[in-house]
Amino acid sequence: MKNNSQFSIVNTHSHVYDEAFDADRDEVIKRAVSQKVTKIILPDIDSTSRERMFTVAQQYPDTCFPMLGLHPTSVNEHYEQELQAVYREIDQRAIVGIGEIGIDLYWDKTFLEQQVEVFSKQMCIAQERDLPVVIHVRKAFNETYKALRDLPSQNFKGIFHCFSGSKEEALKVIEMGFHIGIGGVLTFKTSHLPEVVKLIPRDKIVLETDDPYLTPVPHRGERNEPGYVALVAEKLSEILHCSLDDVMDFTTNNALSIFNI
Ligand SMILES: [Zn+2]
């Protein structure tokens, strides 16, 4: 896809620091930039991948912006140490937000209580420091909603990333003050997301890939990469009956209202 417009895209969720890109990361990032994807937000997972994330952010300081946070699927019997590591790093690193954090009950419910604790604590860190959050929810919308509503401050800024929920859930997310991250799922043939996305106000939509996973059509089955966010933008312009420039314009403005980048 060639794009000659003056507008650019912010990819609000890419794991381009993942080992899946070790062999060709430079080309992948150049390809993204050639698709006008000029800024890429890197969500953190845990201590095993963090150093790699910060190294990539250092190598591409104008393009890649790291976050900090403990991912819900990394909450296990060692969660206290992992959380301590987040507290330690927060004053030592230049980060643009707290994430990805949240609740994931898809694989395992063993650590639900700990997931809620870790999520709530990291929400509080973000609120204290006025940092945006990126929230990962999988098969746990009600649990996540309750954890957020139980927080002492209801002042929220950030993204429910890779959203694939219902209309009702989308409206709850927006009502709390969050933005909604739309990724490759939008292009899937069986997805109900196109219907949901029509109901989301434009000033609440941001774009993402969540690469190397969730590859959009027509590349399904291959590795996803940050530049493919342009395919998501294109699909969104079809669904909303507006130009690609419009989509690039409003989603970038939304991303820049969240992240100080
Ligand atoms: Zn992710």
Alpha-carbon span 35 to 29, nearest angstrom: 10
Q: How far is the CA of 246 from the centre of ligand 1 (A)?
A: 26
| Residue 3 and residue 35 in contact, taking contact as beta carbons nearer than 8 Å | yes
Q: Please give the tally of structural domains in the chain.
A: 1
Whether this model's pTM surpasses 0.85: yes
Parent domain of 215: 9-258
Q: How far is the CA of 5 from the centre of ligand 1 (A)?
A: 28
Q: How far is the CA of 85 from the centre of ligand 1 (A)?
A: 19
In a domain, 3, yes or no: no
Question: Which pLDDT does position 215 carry in this prediction?
Answer: 97
**pLDDT category, 4, cuts 50, 70, 90?**
low
In a domain, 4, yes or no: no
Q: How far is the CA of 210 from the centre of ligand 1 (A)?
A: 5
In percent, the amount of the chain with pLDDT more than 70 equals 98
Q: How far is the CA of 214 from the centre of ligand 1 (A)?
A: 10
In a domain, 30, yes or no: yes
Q: In terms of C-beta density within 10 A (0-12 exposed, 13-18 middle, 19 or more buried), how is residue 234 classed?
A: middle
In a domain, 1, yes or no: no
Q: Specify the CATH number for the domain of residue 113.
A: 3.20.20.140
| Residue 118 and residue 79 in contact, taking contact as beta carbons nearer than 8 Å | yes
**What does the pLDDT look like over 146-193, one tens digit per residue?**
999 999 999 999 999 999 999 999 999 999 999 999 999 999 999 999
**How large is the average pLDDT for residues 3-30?**
93
Q: How far is the CA of 100 from the centre of ligand 1 (A)?
A: 7
